[in-house]
Structure 1
Amino acid sequence: MLKNNYYFSSFFWSTLQKILNAILGFISVPLLLGYYGKAEYGILAIATACNGYMHLLDLGMNTGAIKFFSQWKAEGKQDLICRVARTNITFYILIACVNMFGLVALAVWGESIFSVTHEQFLQLRMCLFIIALFSIFSWAATTFNQLLVADKQMAYTMQVQCVQTIFKTLLIFVVLWAHLSLTVYFFWLTVILALLLIPYAIKCRRDNLIDSLKPAAYWKDFRIVLSFSLSIFALSLFQMTATQSRPIILSIFSANGAETVSEYRIIEVIPQLIIMIGGTFSGIFLPKTSELIAKANQKDTESFIYNWTIYTSIIACVLCFPFILNSQNILSAYVGAEYGYLSIWLVIWIICTLAQIHSTPANALILAFGKVKILVLTSAISCFISMIVNALFSQKYGVGSAIVGYSCYIIIVLVVNYFFYYRYVLCLSLVKMLFCFLAPCICGILSFMLSSYFADFFIFDSYSTRINYILNFCAGTFLWLMFFTVCIFSLRVIRIKNHKIISFYEYQKRN
């Protein structure tokens, strides 16, 4: 019962926190964009992108520490947890110092790097100094978050982050009411983010998850976690580089760095939300795929992959197609009709996201299998190609160059997965894998065509412009969902049997 409560509460609070963050992003971007202007808002985006890249310094420790803290807790090795956790504090303080030095160096000598005016760089410099000032607090909070998650208190961490999101939302309205400058707003935003350290540390001490908040140096014990974490880091390095480098490259190579990055931040909100929701599958699938690898039952493995590729593809279609259909409406409602020209790039980005999410079950099996050397090499090559493409086309396509680069990254990774991992490592049928993905997508495309035709009969123009856009988005989404549901069941991609939903693959197996 406790286990079920843990999963339910963790899922509930994690989902609520993501929804609140999505609402905050939906509210904050147009408000701050309108208040500070496109160029100044782009300064915030550049500063946060620079700091986001610094999170590579984690070296995969977040995953490694949670794994070993959980394992040692089950084995009753509380003393070992305390020694490693206190050494982890020391580790993150050292990382924070490196983070601080890098940001300060960028603030002092980085003006020639970015495509911004001198006045814009002065604001960027202040933002980088602010992040550097609070970096120790932000990094130190990571250890306590790891302890809480390993102790199955993810619900608590999500509750604290929900409160944090509420404070960030209130800060937006304080900006508009008190007319705060960009630098003052960014200072208080960074303070709110850094304050996570206090409730996390108090909770860990109160629940005896750590015996002291004093840093330690038990490096021999710590080396066990670090060695495992570095293998995770090797894979995540290139994935994060591909993501975090996009706005930085745009700020350097595009004609107007601040404005182009601002456009990038506008259209990334929706794909980020889709990836954030779809990304929860990875944590769900990994334990199951690890069990399948241990049992070495190829039939069960194939059944799992084919079935869940169908279900994941259906969910990915539900997440992606409404925004593909209504891209112009959602952008116009979000930041204004003058940004409608970005809709084509948003559509391409979402299509790539759809292709990325469908491979989640098979990717979890690859990670469980442990043969990630080719995957790391592929990520490295596709990362550098995507960065080069982004830089080469920044002048011509502006924000679109980042989307083209991202498309190259996804295509290369999927090609290697399908023609190497799926075929030779996992021994899966490429035809079945593609069909499991394409069957829901075909239903999505048919529903797209039908809803596009009938949407003309449900156009709202009786209210204020923004409300009309929202109503049109809702109407288009409702039509698409209705047609998609009919298509999915009519074409028997899934069906109901004995009060259970089963896929066409599972139905064929049973019959």
Structure 2
Amino acid sequence: MSGGQSILRGIASNWAALGLSIVISFFLSPFVVNKLGSVHYGIWALTLQFTGYLHLLDFGVRESVVRYTAKYCTRDQPGQLNAVLSTAALTYLPIILFCLLITGLAVWAVPGPFKIEPQYYTETRWAVLFTGLTITQSFFFNIFLGVLQGLRRYDLANGLEMGIQLIRVALIVTLLSMGFGLIALSAIQFGTALLLGFIVMGVAIRLLKQRGVKLRPALPRGRRLPAMVRRIVGYGFYSFVHSIAQKIVFSSDVLIVGMTMAIQSVTFYSIAATLTQYLKTLVGTSARVFLPVSSELHASGRTSELSKLFLAGAKLNVLIALPIALTLAILGAQFVGLWMGPSFAEPVATVLPILAFTQIFSSPHNVVVNILYGIGRHAALAWLRLGEAVIMVILTVLLAKSMGLPGVAVGQAIPHVLLVMIVLPCLLRSILGLPVSRYIAGVYLRPLLAGIPFALAAVWIHRSVHLSNLFEFAVAVALLLVIYAPSVYAIGLTAEERQMVLRKIGLRRSARAIS
């Protein structure tokens, strides 16, 4: 399979997994909110955000496994790969122990800085415990997930995740319908994640055997062991710094709401944040496939193709993000009212447009991150993101006090947009030799122009059409996409890209005619 086909297969499987997640969340979120209530759901959202910081303890080891799996399989060096995987397992051991310690302390410290009433302490402690254990077990299995991603078998990884998701949903619906609550919900998350980890491990071991790599303990001896640890952690250190910054940038908003406002405000903000999070995940999963591909290009000396790879991937992300972000910004409050209930629409409407518009400009940064990770040039990016995180926290806290929920969204948006629109183009110019003007024109200009008819039509629907149910809303969005598709073809694509699309369509028609 060619590199392009592999990228498309990876993106398609990532989209399929995300699509299932969105469908599940669409039907499950109102069910869970109604069964738990706004207070318990707010506690659940805070628990996920707070314990989610434990993921930072990975120190970028999984990204190292992805990179070196791709590198050493390309070079047919099974001994080197075995050494990397064994060293990664050794590196994860103290991380797992420390994660258990932090989980125990978090359980003891409930309620901590959050405004949780005493009658909810016991349930909160159990939720924190199970969620912490869920994250703890993931570190070990990250090795095998990294192997699948390094081998570019995103289709297998996503297929397994989708199967476990369906099991998880069935258990949640059954137990919550029987009257169980927050504790059962967190226990289900832990049990299904553990099952997925064992399955991924078995599949990864089988694929390595097919590549001639027999998985066995193969720690380097003598001075080579600390050298290998430094190689993995050295690569992963900047990934760790970047992960810290990214976690602060994209997750601290909910925590700030929980520390500065009533617990019910967390539920309102979380609904808006969840909708935009799906958009972040969509463009993020689309970009993830560029890490092993860029690593292979770099390992084989084909560095001249990296700029072209970046421009194509970043522009694709903007084209994907634009109609979703515009729908959320213009029609999102109507959707929330139909989906969650009218009482949620007005509070969500104050923050959702801000979060949605931010994602239009943010979407290319996912491709930047994965390509720089793939070529091992992510150190500068890590420090820049850390600076962004510090500014964002200060600005968000200040604006939250004066503006409420909209202030949290604005405080998150300003430093992030400045980073993506100004700082990252300069970084790419120094690393890839990509001119800033080519970055802006190639990534943003055509997609934004192509989105104007979509935006105007969405504004007209918002002002002139009463959508009384979700089916009517879905029809309206489908009609907007009918407008968007030819606009993308005529305006969003270059002449060369339009010819490529026509060739692809022609090939498919020829194949159908032959069959």
Fold shared by both chains (TM-score > 0.5):
yes
User: Is 2:387 aligned against 1:381?
Assistant: yes
Cα-to-partner distance string for 1:311-336 (whole Å, 9 max, x where unaligned): 54333323322222321222123211
Deviation at 1:273, TM superposition (A): 1.7
**Paired letter, 1:321:** L
Q: Which has the larger displacement, 154-163 or 446-455?
A: 446-455
Structure 2 equivalent of residue 259 of structure 1: 264
Cα-to-partner distance string for 1:263-290 (whole Å, 9 max, x where unaligned): 2321122212212221244345554698
Structure 2 equivalent of residue 161 of structure 1: 161
Distance 1:84 1:421 in 2: 30
Structure 2 equivalent of residue 447 of structure 1: 454
Deviation at 1:250, TM superposition (A): 2.2
Distance 1:132 1:498 in 2: 49
Distance 2:90 2:114 in 1: 33
For 1:21-40, what aligned pairs fall within 5 Å after superposition?
21-40=21-40
Contact 1:455/1:479 (<8 A) preserved = no
Structure 1 equivalent of residue 98 of structure 2: 98
User: Is 2:338 aligned against 1:314?
Assistant: no
User: Is 2:362 aligned against 1:353?
Assistant: no
Distance 2:42 2:86 in 1: 38
Structure 2 equivalent of residue 242 of structure 1: 249
Deviation at 1:402, TM superposition (A): 3.1
Deviation at 1:211, TM superposition (A): 5.7
Distance 1:92 1:481 in 2: 46
Structure 2 equivalent of residue 506 of structure 1: none
Structure 1 equivalent of residue 511 of structure 2: none
Structure 2 equivalent of residue 122 of structure 1: 122
Distance 1:490 1:4 in 2: 24
Cα-to-partner distance string for 1:300-359 (whole Å, 9 max, x where unaligned): 877766666555433332332222232122212321111112123111111100001145
Deviation at 1:107, TM superposition (A): 1.7
User: Is 2:315 aligned against 1:282?
Assistant: no
Structure 1 equivalent of residue 191 of structure 2: 191
User: Is 2:415 aligned against 1:409?
Assistant: yes
For 1:284-433, what aligned pairs fall within 5 Å after superposition?
284-285=289-290, 287=293, 310-341=315-346, 342-359=348-365, 372-417=378-423, 420-421=426-427, 428-433=434-439
Q: Structure 1 residues 393 and 200 mapped into 2: Cα distance closer, same or farther (>3 Å)?
A: same
**Paired letter, 2:480:** W
Distance 2:490 2:150 in 1: 45
Distance 1:328 1:260 in 2: 16
Backbone CA RMSD of aligned residues = 3.6
Q: Which has the larger displacement, 411-420 or 1-10?
A: 1-10
Distance 1:406 1:362 in 2: 20
Identity %: 14
Q: Which has the larger displacement, 339-348 or 34-43?
A: 339-348
Distance 2:336 2:461 in 1: 21
Distance 2:133 2:311 in 1: 49
> What is the aligned length?
491
Distance 1:49 1:319 in 2: 24
Distance 2:398 2:103 in 1: 26
Structure 2 equivalent of residue 508 of structure 1: none
**Paired letter, 2:343:** E
> Match of 1:195, SS?
helix
> Match of 1:279, SS?
helix
Q: Structure 1 residues 433 and 141 mapped into 2: Cα distance closer, same or farther (>3 Å)?
A: closer
Contact 1:60/1:230 (<8 A) preserved = yes
Distance 1:292 1:204 in 2: 24
Cα-to-partner distance string for 1:197-228 (whole Å, 9 max, x where unaligned): 32233334555658678897964444432222
Contact 1:302/1:428 (<8 A) preserved = yes
Distance 1:160 1:362 in 2: 28
Deviation at 1:494, TM superposition (A): 4.5
Deviation at 1:384, TM superposition (A): 0.8
Distance 2:134 2:313 in 1: 43
Cα-to-partner distance string for 1:452-480 (whole Å, 9 max, x where unaligned): 3256665444xxxxxx1x23422432343
Contact 1:138/1:196 (<8 A) preserved = no
Distance 1:127 1:272 in 2: 22
Q: Structure 1 residues 420 and 121 mapped into 2: Cα distance closer, same or farther (>3 Å)?
A: same
Distance 1:204 1:428 in 2: 37
Distance 2:80 2:296 in 1: 26
For 1:36-51, what aligned pairs fall within 5 Å after superposition?
36-51=36-51
**Paired letter, 1:203:** V
Contact 1:43/1:123 (<8 A) preserved = no
Distance 2:218 2:50 in 1: 28
Contact 1:137/1:195 (<8 A) preserved = no
Q: Structure 1 residues 435 and 224 mapped into 2: Cα distance closer, same or farther (>3 Å)?
A: closer
Distance 2:239 2:370 in 1: 13
User: Is 2:172 aligned against 1:172?
Assistant: yes
Distance 2:130 2:461 in 1: 52
Deviation at 1:36, TM superposition (A): 0.9
**Paired letter, 2:261:** A
Which segments of 5 or more consecutive residues in structure 1 lack a partner in the other structure?
462-467, 503-511
Contact 1:42/1:259 (<8 A) preserved = yes
Deviation at 1:482, TM superposition (A): 3.5
Q: Which has the larger displacement, 344-353 or 451-460?
A: 451-460
**Paired letter, 1:71:** K
Q: Structure 1 residues 138 and 313 mapped into 2: Cα distance closer, same or farther (>3 Å)?
A: closer
Deviation at 1:64, TM superposition (A): 0.4
**Paired letter, 2:188:** W
User: Is 2:234 aligned against 1:227?
Assistant: yes
Distance 1:371 1:360 in 2: 15
Structure 2 equivalent of residue 269 of structure 1: 274
Distance 1:223 1:419 in 2: 30
Structure 2 equivalent of residue 507 of structure 1: none
**Paired letter, 1:184:** A
Deviation at 1:423, TM superposition (A): 5.8
Deviation at 1:413, TM superposition (A): 0.8
Deviation at 1:110, TM superposition (A): 4.2
**Paired letter, 1:449:** L
Deviation at 1:54, TM superposition (A): 0.7
Deviation at 1:362, TM superposition (A): 5.8
Distance 2:234 2:307 in 1: 32
